[in-house]
Structure 1
Amino acid sequence: MAVAAITETRQYLTFKLTEEVFAVDVAEVREILEYSTITKVPRTPLFMRGVINLRGSVVPVVDLRLKFGMPATEPTINTCIIVVEIDLAEDQLVLGMLADSVQEVFELAPESIEPAPRLGTKLDTAFIAGMGKYLEQFIMILDTDRIFSAAELAEVQPEVAVANG
């Protein structure tokens, strides 16, 4: 979802990782859960914190702070799990993302969204759909389908099958 693909006013859920504010399209969010016990799964990528039981379904939980090169999330009273749906080739993966806190839901018009900055050729910013300007601050709008590479998602998906077996 590049800025050019954002042609209408949309609602975004904002959340914090350390002191940075990020946002995802509300349409991609299934629900927000209080932090609960996460069952660690051996031999998974560092950012993969484990799995949770969501009404009988096994849902992998990732630590976005680790994925983005920040220190690991230390659970507090405000820590939550944002459950999103990620589009794969012909399927959808339900995934939990740890967040330090959820802020608010707000609407943002396309003209309030700038393209993601180009940070050189070695840094991949494809996962940033754009930079939204809201209340005089910039908010990184994430493209949940592009945060993780296909290879990373392939590493996460088999764990779900193993956990179900």
Structure 2
Amino acid sequence: MVRKIVDSKDPLLRVKSKTVKIIDKKILDLIGDMKDTLDKQKDPEGVGLAAPQVGKNLQIFIVKFKNVSKVIINPEIIEISDRRGKSNADGKLMEGCLSLPHYYSLIKRPGRIKIKYLDQQGRENIEEFNEFLAQIVQHEIDHLNGVLFVDHVLKQDRPLYKYNGKTFEEVDL
């Protein structure tokens, strides 16, 4: 079932998400709904979706890359590198958010992150993500901690752009 994606004004997006205690049918149904929602998202197309974005205060997100979805539950950052990945060296890759559609900025983020997490079968995994995937994972972990990408725009004093279907126009935040 496709769920409504909440917009950036929803207070749930500013709250630290709760740890998932048991991966039961209710959680698996939510994960299925999140996958459906991310798959159906076309304007703009999404590469990640966190549970708070569909109104659930839980530490779950999905990363979609090259048509493969990965479910991440209760992520814990083990290691993060200040080395910038090729994809976002000097913040050259536009970052956006499905809760703030059509707004983008050139966010600088570390190019490598290693996390410990549970998959949807409840198995513990340790995985390293690099470059673009590292950027997506950090963005989604931010959602679980009540942080939006526009917070980084302000902190890094970066311009914010709105995509009007053809071009990017700089806008005030």
Taking structure 2 as the reference length, the TM-score comes to 0.29
More helix by share: 2
More strand by share: 1
Taking structure 1 as the reference length, the TM-score comes to 0.30
Greater RCO structure (CA 8 Å; 6+ sep): 1
